[in-house]
Amino acid sequence: MKEASLLFNYQFEYVMRLKLFFSILFLSLLSFCIAQDSTVVLSASMFDKYFQMIPLTAKDGWIFKEGNDTNWAKQNISTSDWKKFNPTQLTIKNADKNGKAEGWFRMRFRLDSSFENLPLGIQMGRWVAADVYINGQHIVSSGNTGLNGKPYKENQIFIEPPTSVDLVPGVDHVLALHIVEHRSPLKSSMLKTELLNKGFGNVLELTGPESQVKDINYYKRFTFFWTLWVSVCSVLAIVFWFLYFQNRSEKNLLLISIAITSFSIAMFMDAFLNIKTEMTFVSWAGMFYIKDLFYGFSQATGILFLAHAFRHKISLLLKSLMIIIAFSGAISDFYFDHKLQLPIGILFLLICFYFIVSSWKNLKGAQWALVVGILSTCIWNVLLAYNSVKYRPAFPFPFVYLYLTGTFLSFPLSQMVYVVMRFKEILLEVQKNANKVIQLTEERKNQALKQQKILEEEVAKQTIELRTAFENLKSTQSQLIQSEKMASLGELTAGIAHEIQNPLNFVNNFSDVNTELIDEANEEADKGNLSGVKTILNDIKDNSEKIIHHGKRADAIVKGMLQHSRTSSGQKEPTDINALTDEYLRLAYHGLRAKDKSFNADIKTDFDNNTGKVNIIPQDIGRVILNLINNAFYAVNEKAKQNIPGFEPTVVISTKKLPGKVEIKVQDNGNGIPQKVVDKIFQPFFTTKPTGLGTGLGLSLSYDIMKAHGGELIVETKEGEGTGFSIILGS
């Protein structure tokens, strides 16, 4: 019985112990199901290697309750209705219907002995409005959650200096964090901090003694290098635009200028967004997307430039890829949370490598500079990516700015080298073409010298013929003047036209040579060879001077022949203008009647008896009067041949005394002179008569005679109604 009793007691005690064990186990499991202020132990080894920070909001051990009550900041409150919830889990799903997410986070923590005598601080992140309490005491706020009745305000300070806190190691502390955040105005499916800060992981950080020094040094380096990158790219952009405006035919310069300008603007905005300490969410986000658009546009324009530089056709596929790349940055940030940046970057590099590989066999000169720039950019990117993974999450890691400098500046600098080398290639091409032009010019010069020699021999031959003809004309002129003035004048004029034909041919030959040289000059000008053009123009000038020389020589010969063809003494003498005019009127009329018996015209005279005598060379003025009357008779005779009903050929010759002058006027009612040729009638060899009926010397010689007498020869004409010539002489 005793043994049975002992066995029963033992079994009973065993069962009670099992009940107690399962009760404790049940209560323990129940405690895990209910949020408790469990203590999180922090160690100094948790500090970031470079920034000396511990992101507290990323740690486990937080509990959360929606709403707002400042009593929740107190150290000892009941948290049985709170739930386990980390700040990094806060999303738009926790917001109310107005897009506002508000609540309190609590965490109980203890510092181990590694924090002994270590100064600490609390640092806040951007956008989210938050209040921080430790052991019920308000420590710091970012923005304004509505504390003390103030209106809500987002935290616009990008980097705030840490707020010092006095925390005793080995003692439990209660950290309370009140957060107020709103829906992003740019993307309704995310909170502001979700969209641009990629979550709440760095909203609250515990900083060490080196944190502020590290921040200052980081931003010093950041400012220096970004200023360097932006300055270099901006200077390159200005240089390229200057080169483009000086060489607008170079399309590559325009594409480089646009690409680097876009890249410079994007980098400036990037640096500004990172350095600027206080901006509103909307303005910051707006500039952020605009910056991404400039980066994308810079890449797309760079692809277009590479296509031209490597002589690739712009296909529809390439155009589509350029559009995707141009807008990929902003689209990636807005819709895909940066997830497209890596694929787009790889796509850009693949296109660049496609240009290089497909053109590898034909690469030469300046194109190699672009190849080096692309490969260098890729190498720096690989180093940057490798070190980003190796030192994650620390930033900046060692040599980061060296890698970024290579990444940002390799391709722009290679474009500068490309332009320099391309200009050198163009200069070499121009020099090569110039040598060809010089060689061609020398050949043309030798041909011109040979032709000149031939022409000189021809001129000498023609000169002898002209002299012989001149002597013959002198003898013939004397005989003709004695027999009949009008006949001699006509014959002399015909002889002059015949004899000057040879020098005219000479002039024409030189003109043909000049025409060929002008064509050559145009070809050289199209090639941009100014030196060749100048050489040819000098040849043209030399030929023109020879044409002028021989033309004047022929003109002098003709004038000399006319001078010898008359019996004038060349001395002025008082002459009765009315008598002189009447004499040459009769000579002209009878001379024409002798040649054409059918000619008839109504001749009217109106002589002013007050004209008196004028001091002139009578033979010269007589020749002028004779030419004008002959022209008038010819004009009315030609119109009479048209058989116009009611038309009567009429020529009116009049003299008139003017103040200090005498006027002799010859008026006809012929067809008149066309208005378009009036300015040419006094030019040598210009005539309105059919070929063979006029030499074009009459009015030219008359004009020269009047000019020598200090007088004037004026024409008034109306096409279809007649012409009037006025001789004005000083009395």
**pLDDT value at residue 655:** 92
| Per-residue pLDDT tens digits for 632-657 | 888 888 888 888 888 889 999 999 98
- Do residues 327 and 296 touch, judged by C-beta distance below 8 A? yes
Q: How many Cβ atoms from other residues are within 10 Å of residue 559's Cβ?
A: 14
Q: For 527-569, where are the alpha helices, taking DSSP H only?
A: 530-564
**pLDDT value at residue 332:** 55
| Crossing angle of helices 367-390 and 341-358, rounded to 10° | 150
- DSSP-assigned letters across all residues of 130-157: EEEEETTEEEEEESBSSGGGPPPB-B-B
Identify residue 705 by its one-letter amino acid code: I
**pLDDT value at residue 103:** 92
- Do residues 456 and 547 touch, judged by C-beta distance below 8 A? no
664 φ/ψ sector (left φ>0, alpha ψ -120 to 50, else beta): beta
In the sheet that 650-658 helps form, which strands lie side by side, from edge to edge? 602-606, 650-658, 661-668, 722-730, 712-718
- Do residues 433 and 523 touch, judged by C-beta distance below 8 A? no
**pLDDT value at residue 212:** 63
- Do residues 440 and 534 touch, judged by C-beta distance below 8 A? no
Cα(586)–Cα(592) distance, rounded to whole angstroms? 10
* Residues written for the chain: 731
- Do residues 699 and 681 touch, judged by C-beta distance below 8 A? yes
Beta bridge partners of 122: 163, 206
Q: 712 to each of 149, 274, 657, how far by Cα in Å?
A: 106, 88, 15
**pLDDT value at residue 223:** 82
Q: Which residues of the chain have pLDDT under 70?
A: 1-37, 48-52, 157-159, 195-198, 211-213, 215-216, 274-286, 288, 329-342, 388-398, 473-503, 505-506, 552-570, 594, 685-686, 691-697, 731
Contacts 24+ apart (CB under 8 A), 273-280: 274/158, 274/222, 274/226, 275/219, 275/222, 275/223, 275/226, 276/158, 277/157, 277/158, 277/159, 278/156, 278/157, 278/158, 279/156, 279/158, 280/154, 280/156
**pLDDT value at residue 339:** 57
Instruction: Take residue 360 and report the two structure tokens written for it.
Output: 């590898």
**pLDDT value at residue 35:** 47
| Per-residue pLDDT tens digits for 182-229 | 887 777 788 877 766 667 777 888 887 776 667 667 777 878 888 888
Beta bridge partners of 121: 164, 207
Q: For 484-529, where are the alpha helices, taking DSSP H only?
A: 485-499, 501-526
**pLDDT value at residue 7:** 32
199 φ/ψ sector (left φ>0, alpha ψ -120 to 50, else beta): left
